[in-house]
């Protein structure tokens, strides 16, 4: 099409790649995302930039990695000099609208976008039960009243399936009986335990201190609660998680129906993805904050419900590595506007149009400020930076001298990431190549010192705990 399209960016929260029925998961029903998939190109190798809400969302908003944005964890603060997608679109006469969850600390969504709905109490991390249906109402109000003269950009931030966190927090303070013994569900209703429920304990120090030790930095009370769970309780977590996914699928279906009935579907590009995944018992883990696949691999679909935008439909791209930083340049590409300098992402438009282009051969991911991963076709290499002796608040890297512990997984033969090969001499060359690739990627980043006091406090406190662990557990 010659004219500029409408662009609708639909995002869900904590939605793992495989929690979609069209991709073969028999334990949930997502007819609407399935339809989106049939009307577009899905990317199999799609990764978030950082498996936690605010960090990943700062990448969507800016096209940068999280050590560049100032938001390397939920308590970060977006550097004020970095333009966001709303500002860039508005400067070029596109009308940017926002509806639902934003969660990019340091940037007022109401200043960068016209907000259709952002809650009476502004939407924070969770609250899908209240905010998601209202978000759909606001989108319905917008679409049924849109005059249609100018193309619009609308980003719709659904909170679910993030409310699975409420399910988990609920276990912190009270004893909830086994649902099968209570007759609420039968064992046959429950999905099986993931094949990687048992895991290789040779993990990074960062991961242990953040997620494994008794006084873990992140959600220790939940960790304490789940240690008492039996197999059925883990499986009931997964069962519940899938109901949250179904809930948000229904909301997305309403938006799709409205696009069709308001005749916007032919000229509307839909980008669908999630900020990060959900561990759901894999590696005996819950929520996100890890560099395992369940936490970092997310759906990514580019679709059009009509025939006005050339897209290869009903196709899964198995080979190209997609990152959360690609959302920004893809929007700009379809909007026909230039991207800011120093952007890390690439527009996926050529890929969805079936054109051959030069593309990256890996995905780069950060986590919890010090964690790093590089994913290639055959291997995933995970490592960490040791905390600096004197913290300067410049996100670490590239510096091989400061690498801590590491993991190497053979993605072809061990996709569930059950065996850490990093100390196996047979893989020493693979480790070296992976490190070089990671360092080369990091050399392209434009880090800035973290200056906001809140994230500085987090880095100081976490760094202290990490240093103590290194000292006492050599």
Residues that bind other proteins (CB under 8 A): 29, 97, 99, 110, 114-121, 124-127, 129-131, 133-134, 137-138, 140-145, 163, 165-167, 169-177, 182-184, 186, 224-225, 228, 240, 243-244, 246-247, 249-251, 254, 257-258, 260-262
Contact between residue 160 and residue 13 where contact means Cβ atoms under 8 Å apart: yes
The nearest distance, CB 325 to other proteins, in angstroms, is: 28
> What residue has token string 């304490």?
224
Nearer to other proteins, 212 or 243 (CB): 243
CB of 251 to other proteins, least distance (A): 8
Q: Which is nearer to other proteins, 82 or 165 (CB)?
A: 165
End-to-end CA distance of the chain, in Å? 61
Nearer residue to other proteins within complex by CB, 145 or 412 = 145
φ/ψ of 219, rounded to 5, equals: 50, 50
Q: Which residues contact 220 (CB under 8 A, 6 or more apart)?
A: 214
Minimum CB separation of residue 107 from other proteins in Å reads 17
d(CA 256, CA 421) in angstroms, rounded, equals 45
CA distances from 413 to 121, 220, 268, 334, 410 (A): 48, 33, 40, 38, 6
What is the DSSP secondary structure assignment for residue 30, as one 8-state letter? -
- Minimum CB separation from other proteins for residue 78, in Å? 20
Residue matched to tokens 């930083």: 325
CB of 299 to other proteins, least distance (A): 18
Q: Which is nearer to other proteins, 180 or 466 (CB)?
A: 180
Residue with Cβ nearer other proteins (138 or 375)? 138
Nearer to other proteins, 110 or 432 (CB): 110
The least CB distance from residue 19 to other proteins, in Å, is 13
161 or 281, CB closer to other proteins? 161
Nearest of 104, 113, 112 to residue 142 by alpha carbon: 113
Q: How far is the CB of 66 from other proteins (least distance, A)?
A: 21
Strands 300-303 and 268-274 turn out to be antiparallel
Minimum CB–partner distance for residue 143 and other proteins (Å):
8
Q: What is the chain's length? A: 474
Task: Return the number of the residue (184 or 394) whose C-beta is nearest other proteins.
Answer: 184
Count of alpha carbons within 13 angstroms of residue 472, beta-carbon side? 7
- The smaller minimum CB distance to other proteins, of residues 172 and 391, is found at 172
Distance between CA 366 and CA 469 in Å, rounded? 21
Instruction: Provide, rounded to whole angstroms, the least separation between the CB of residue 385 and other proteins.
Output: 30
Nearest residue to 417 (alpha-carbon basis) of 285, 259, 260 = 285
Residue 67 CB, nearest approach to other proteins (Å) = 26
What tokens were used for 45? 């190798």
Residue 208 has a CB neighbour count (10 Å cut-off) of: 16
**Of 2 and 145, CB closest to other proteins:** 145
Smallest distance, other proteins to C-beta of residue 243, A: 5
Nearer CB in complex with other proteins: 259/346:
259
CA-closest candidate to residue 293, choices 156, 165, 195, 221: 195
CA distance 167 to 29: 20
81-85: list long-range contacts, CB under 8 Å, 24+ apart: 83/340, 84/112, 85/60, 85/61, 85/112, 85/153, 85/155, 85/327, 85/328, 85/331, 85/332
């Amino acid at each position: 099409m010659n004219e500029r399209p409408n662009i609708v960016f639909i995002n869900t929260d904590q939605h793992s790649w495989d929690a979609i029925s069209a991709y073969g998961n028999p334990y949930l029903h997502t007819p609407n995302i399935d339809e989106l998939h049939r009307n577009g190109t899905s990317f199999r190798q799609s990764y978030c930039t950082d498996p936690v809400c605010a960090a990943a969302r700062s990448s969507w908003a800016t096209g940068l990695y999280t050590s560049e944005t100032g938001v390397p964890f939920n308590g970060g603060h977006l550097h004020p000099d970095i333009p966001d997608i709303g500002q860039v679109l508005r400067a070029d006469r596109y009308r940017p609208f926002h509806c639902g969850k934003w969660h990019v600390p340091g940037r007022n969504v109401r200043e960068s976008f016209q907000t259709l709905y952002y809650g009476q109490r502004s939407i924070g991390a969770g609250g899908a039960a209240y905010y998601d249906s209202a978000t759909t109402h606001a989108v319905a109000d917008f679409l049924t009243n849109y005059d249609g003269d100018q193309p619009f950009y609308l980003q719709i931030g659904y909170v679910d399936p993030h409310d699975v966190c409420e399910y988990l927090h609920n276990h912190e303070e009270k004893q909830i009986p086994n649902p099968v013994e209570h007759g609420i569900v039968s064992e046959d209703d429950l999905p099986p335990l993931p094949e990687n429920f048992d895991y290789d304990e040779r993990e990074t120090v960062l991961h242990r201190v953040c997620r494994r030790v008794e006084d873990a930095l992140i959600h220790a009370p939940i960790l304490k609660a789940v240690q008492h769970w039996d197999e059925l309780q883990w499986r009931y977590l997964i069962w519940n998680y899938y109901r949250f996914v179904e809930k948000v699928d229904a909301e997305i279906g309403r938006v799709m129906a409205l696009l069709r009935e308001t005749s916007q579907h032919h000229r509307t590009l839909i980008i669908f993805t999630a900020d990060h995944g959900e561990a759901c018992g894999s590696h005996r883990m819950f929520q996100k904050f890890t560099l395992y696949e369940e936490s970092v691999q997310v759906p990514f679909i580019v679709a059009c419900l009509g025939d006005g935008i050339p897209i290869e439909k009903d196709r899964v791209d198995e080979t190209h590595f997609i990152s959360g930083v690609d959302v920004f340049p893809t929007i700009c590409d379809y909007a026909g506007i230039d991207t800011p300098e120093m952007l890390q992402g690439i527009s996926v438009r050529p890929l969805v149009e079936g054109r051959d282009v030069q593309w990256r051969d890996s995905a780069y991911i950060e986590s919890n400020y010090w964690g790093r991963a590089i994913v290639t076709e055959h291997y995933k290499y995970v490592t960490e930076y040791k905390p600096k002796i004197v913290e300067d608040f410049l996100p670490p890297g590239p510096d091989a001298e400061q690498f801590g512990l590491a993991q190497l997984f053979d993605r072809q033969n061990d996709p569930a990431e059950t065996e850490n090969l990093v100390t196996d001499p047979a893989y020493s060359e693979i480790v070296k190549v992976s490190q070089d690739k990671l360092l080369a990627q990091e050399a392209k980043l434009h880090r800035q010192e973290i200056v906001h006091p809140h994230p500085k406090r987090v880095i100081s406190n976490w760094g202290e705990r990490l240093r103590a662990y290194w000292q006492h557990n050599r």
